[in-house]
Structure 1
Amino acid sequence: MKRRLAAILLAVGALPAFAQPQAPSPPPSEAERLVFQQDHLANTRQPRTLRYAYVEEAEGKPRVTDRALITLSNGAAGRCCDVHGDYLSGAQAVNLPDIPEARGNPVVLYFLEGEVRRLQRTTTGQAAHFRRRIRQSFADAATVSETTITWAGKTAPARLVRIAPFLDDPFRARFQDQAATEYAIVLSDAVPGGVYQLRAMLPGDAAGAAPRASRTLTIDASN
């Protein structure tokens, strides 16, 4: 299964820097294990569609809403789950190959790839560089903490993974206005598919100020 998934990610071209570290490599960090190696779909071994709500907010711009769908279906052998994603729409849409016999929830890959493509569209930087920085930050600069979420009217335990991949980027002058972007991933076994929320946030100019921009993907409570 892991070899098959790695082959798919290599075919995508966009994702090996996220999901498959270059060999040889040190043991994976706690953040890497949680985000890229966890069996997120362990509690969802049946055909269904996972729905996520997307909200984008930025200073001086109208609020944008959209959605992402992760569809789980039985594969050729009759086992779940083969995975197909429909991620956002219009210029923000991300199309990736379907993943057979998936274990991890690919909504994480869709979100991160969407962020990379946004950075490439809005800066003078290159997508390959942004992918490398994000991937490396999970290995050597991520923080992992315990948190809680509210799901189905109850409080449930969760893990929060945070990265700020561009703070010490030697090329940050090329995209200085976005280099402070932080990413947060909230994982919980309480929600179908194991991924509760993903967020990109550009902090305000002063401590305690409202974020200048945020993009949040949260699992729909109707799942």
Structure 2
Amino acid sequence: MRTHPPLRAGLGVLAACLLMPLGAEAADGPASPPQDYSDAERIIFMTEHLGALQPPQTLAYRFRKHGSLEEDFEDRVTLRLSPTASGACCNGEADFLSDARRLRLPAVEDARANPVILYFLEHDVRDMNRLTKGQQNHFRKRIRMAIYQGARVEQRALEYLGRPISAQQVVISPYEDDPNRGRFEQYADKHYVFWLSNEVPGGVFGVASRMNARDAGAEPLMVEEMYLEGATPPDLTALAR
């Protein structure tokens, strides 16, 4: 029997959609028996990324958007971690981007997995809704299903604060086989990458998404990248067609 991963109260619809048990929800067809978590789910949502931290503590991430579709910009994401009532780590609250771009999201209480991943994905879901006029819950479900049954997981050598580290890389393509992709074909070739490592504070090295242009070799439509301060960004060209 599947149980909820140790990420409690927080991001409402997004968290409920991404973290609820799969089974009857796992497909658009008839209900199926509950199944175990995938490796990708365990890496992203069930690992206690914050377990080694001593609150209070602040984690800073660099955010960059670029591509041919919209204006480029660089900004920051700040995650403030405070002790729970028991003194353990952590309650989390974030400033996700700034000024007019700021995404207002609730705090996550008694978080074990790093909530910055959920913040990034909620930003992404709302952006997909803005670009396509599609339903936010549809994009949430596609991301969730891709992490559950379509993810590619491998080890990667990365660099943090100038030294080599080992990380787990998870790549998903939620809209590759989406039955509704014809409604937003321009954006359907979208890939997401998550880099997780116990050798960096908070366990999350970075998260990125990339939408390729239709013409091979052309500048991507949009790339959004968020990396922990001190992380050397990996090469994303492997996600190009």
Q: TM-score, normalised by structure 2?
A: 0.83
**1:44 Cα offset (Å):** 1.7
Q: What are the superposed Cα offsets for residues 86-137 of structure 1, whole Å, 9 maximum, x if unpaired?
A: 1113554333322222110000000111110001011131001110010001
Q: Do the aligned residues in 1 keep the contact of 2:41 with 2:147 (CA within 8 Å)?
A: yes
Residue equivalent to 2:9: 8
SS at match of 2:9: helix
Letter of the 2:205 counterpart: Y
Q: CA deviation at 1:204?
A: 3.4
- 1:118 aligned residue: 127
Contact 2:212 2:222 survives alignment (8 Å): yes
Greater percentage in helix: 1
Unaligned runs of 5+ in 2: 24-32, 232-241
Q: Which range is displaced more, 200-209 or 77-86?
A: 200-209
Distance in structure 1 (CA, Å) of the matches to 2:193 and 2:84: 32
Tell me which of 194, 214, 224 is aligned to 1:215. Answer: 224
Contact 1:202/1:213 (<8 A) preserved: yes
- Counterpart CA distance in 2 for 1:68 and 1:16 is 23
Distance in 2, matches of 1:197 and 1:42, equals 18
Cα pair 2:67 2:219 within 8 Å, conserved: no
Shift of 1:82: 1.2
Using the TM superposition, name which of 30-39 and 97-106 deviates more.
97-106
Output the aligned Cα RMSD: 2.2
Secondary structure class of the residue paired with 2:157: strand
Q: Deviations over 1:137-168 (max 9, x none)?
A: 11110000110111122101001000000011
Q: Which residue of 1 aligns with 2:160?
A: 151
Q: CA deviation at 1:212?
A: 2.4
Does residue 185 (structure 1) correspond to residue 194 (structure 2)? The answer is yes
- 1:177-199 Cα offsets, whole Å, 9 max, x none, are 10111000011111100001100
Query: Aligned match of 1:87 in 75, 96, 117?
Result: 96
Count how many residue pairs are aligned between Structure 1 and Structure 2.
220
State the Cα distance separating 1:205 from its structure 2 match: 2.9
CA distance in 1, matches of 2:7, 2:86: 20
Q: Tell me by how many angstroms 1:203 deviates.
A: 1.9
How far apart, in 1, do the equivalents of 2:77 and 2:227 lie? 9
Aligned-residue offset at 1:221: 1.5
- The 3-state SS of whatever aligns with 2:87 is coil
- Residue 7 of structure 2 contacts residue 111 of structure 2 at CA under 8 Å; is this kept in 1? no
What is the Cα deviation at residue 28 of structure 1? 0.5
Separation in 2, partners of 1:30, 1:4: 13
* Identical aligned residues as a percent: 34
2:148 maps to 139
